Structure 1
Amino acid sequence: MRTKSTVNEQSKLQYTQLLTEAKQKNALVPPSDPRVQRLRAIASRIVPYAARWNPAAADWKWEVNLLNSDQVNAFCMPGGRIAFFSGILTKLNLTDDEVAMVMGHEISHALREHARKRMVESSATSAVGKLLGAGVSAYFGIDPRLTDTVAGIGAQMISLKFSRGEETEADIVGLDLAARAGFDPRAGITLWQKMGAAGSRQPLEILSTHPGGESRINEMNRNMPLVLPVYARTKGTTVDKLPPYQSMPLPPKA
């Protein structure tokens, strides 16, 4: 059985190897890039509230990186290792609030230890791992023979499918984290509306691992009375005085 410490150490190794391979293929966006600085600034506001949902998170060595890929995806590995794919920023034209919704959701999976539970329950073999590693090859155009070392947790996190209950929990915890950090939780609604609209244009990778649809939006709306007052307090106001949330339109269809 994979213990928390084992998963964390393997996660650290796989994340480092993933970044190394991405850098070799010029797919790792440098820290000086404004997009990376934006992601890290958003994370710096969310992370202080992570320990509310998992006390161990106070000791995690948080990392945030951006991978240059058209994939519409993001993930957070055990131990607080976050990666975004550039496609999710450009294809969905995300506001900072919507980025925070994505980040809060993925962080929540790590905080609630969904990945470790999935991996413990699975009977993944090295052969399956290599298939997952091939998925990393597809993202970066890397020779599949070079991805064997990334065929463990790193690759699993990219393609991991969580249960409906885990996805709902990650949505709600993510809303709470983002709201406490001063991001408008109503952006969770517009985010998934944009996901659905973009997915109707072409298949989105993230929709294959994250169930969408009206039921998801409805669940967020049911929890909005709990998190919207939290957000309003960060703005020094009340819910009834908040202006309507304004998103940004999807980019023109190519």
Structure 2
Amino acid sequence: MTNPLLRNLLPAALAATVAVACQTVQTTAGGTVGVDRTQMMMVSAQEVEQASRQQYQQMLAEARSKNALNRDPAQLQRVRTIVSRLTAQAGAFRQDAMRWQWEVNVFSSDELNAWCMAGGKMAIYTGLIDRLKLSDDEIAAVMGHEIAHALREHAREKVSKSMVTGLGVSVAGALLGVGSAGQDLMNTVAKVTFELPNSREYEIEADRMGVELAARAGYDPRAAVTLWNKMASASNGGPPQWLSTHPSHATRQRELTEYSARVMPLYERARR
């Protein structure tokens, strides 16, 4: 039988824990493009990054076992060169990101996909590069966009929101440090990263920051427009499933054109 005193105290203790755990943060500086929204977090960056690293290592091991990891050395080097130039500009938004252990690998898959997990663990799929015949500027556009998600800690924010809306046993365990909280968090991080599409708000932020990162790295920010045109064409006029809640194609094209024009001086300076 449950102790009545414990039954009465647990909700209050949990509510107090939630209140203490919840914090308002500003993950990045605004940059030229003006991203300045504050975010509510209920889990630490360190916890999400650790869970992301563990998930990433599992995915690398699985791809390696299927001979689907970094099969083309020249393509891998091309991607890593582009990404290294992008991550070298991360300090424009947050200085601590200059110390992240950035890593990118190429997965052999026909999917039109790319992603960047918390803490800078990335992948791009051969389907995206080969099927769309991406230029270096377009690879920079898609990877700059994904890097921006990590800089803004959108995965951490989505995990925090899921904890608020689905406050149950596993969440209570995570907050109170008991049970299989580590595995629960890793599963949640994987779900918000790979299964749940980003909100329009997140996508606008990643679009803005992505074109700025590309421009600062010396890649033409206008390639973001051609990239999304290719994505729409390859998906019969609409975005792939993993982009299902993104802004409409027409809206995105208009906004990316505007963002690109705003950061053109950065691109021109980087090209000198």
| 1:149 shift after superposition | 11
Query: Among residues 138, 157, 161, which one is paired with 2:197 in the alignment?
Result: 161
Change over 3 Å in CA distance of 1:218–1:64 after alignment to 2: same
> Alpha carbon RMSD of aligned pairs, Å?
2.3
Which amino acid letter does the alignment assign opposite residue 38 of structure 1?
R
- How far off its partner does 1:150 sit? 7.4
Between the two proteins, the alignment pairs up a number of residues equal to 214
Structure (1 or 2) with the larger CA radius of gyration: 2
Supply the distance in 1 between the matched residues of 2:186 and 2:266 (Cα, whole angstroms): 40
1:14 aligns with 2:50: no
In structure 1, what residue type is equivalent to 2:155?
A
What do the CA deviations read for 1:84-104 (whole angstroms, capped 9, x no partner)? Answer: 111111111100000000000
- The alpha-carbon distance between structure 1 residues 71 and 209, as it changes in their structure 2 partners (threshold 3 A), is farther
Going from structure 1 to structure 2, the CA distance change for 1:24 and 1:210 (only over 3 Å counts) comes to: farther
- The code of the aligned residue for 2:66 comes to K
Aligned counterpart in structure 2 of residue 170 of structure 1, from 200, 206, 214: 206
TM-score (norm 2): 0.73
Residue number among 250, 257, 260 corresponding to 1:224 in the alignment: 260
Separation in 1, partners of 2:268, 2:160: 39
- 1:160 and 1:209 in contact (8 A); partners too: no
Q: CA deviation at 1:72?
A: 0.4
Alignment match, 2:223:
187
Structure 2 alignment gaps of length 5 or more: 1-41, 169-183
Aligned to 1:3: 44
Q: SS at the partner of 1:122? A: helix
Q: Deviations over 1:3-48 (max 9, x none)?
A: 1110011111110111111111212124x61111111000111111
Give the Cα–Cα distance (whole angstroms) in 1 for the partners of residues 123 and 110 of structure 2: 14
Same amino acid, percent of matched pairs: 44
Cα gap change, 1:84 to 1:150, in 2 (>3 Å): farther
**2:129 corresponds to which of 81, 89, 92:** 89
Check the 8 A contact 1:11/1:78 in 2, yes or no. yes
How far did 1:224 drift? 2.6
TM-score w.r.t. the length of structure 1 is 0.78
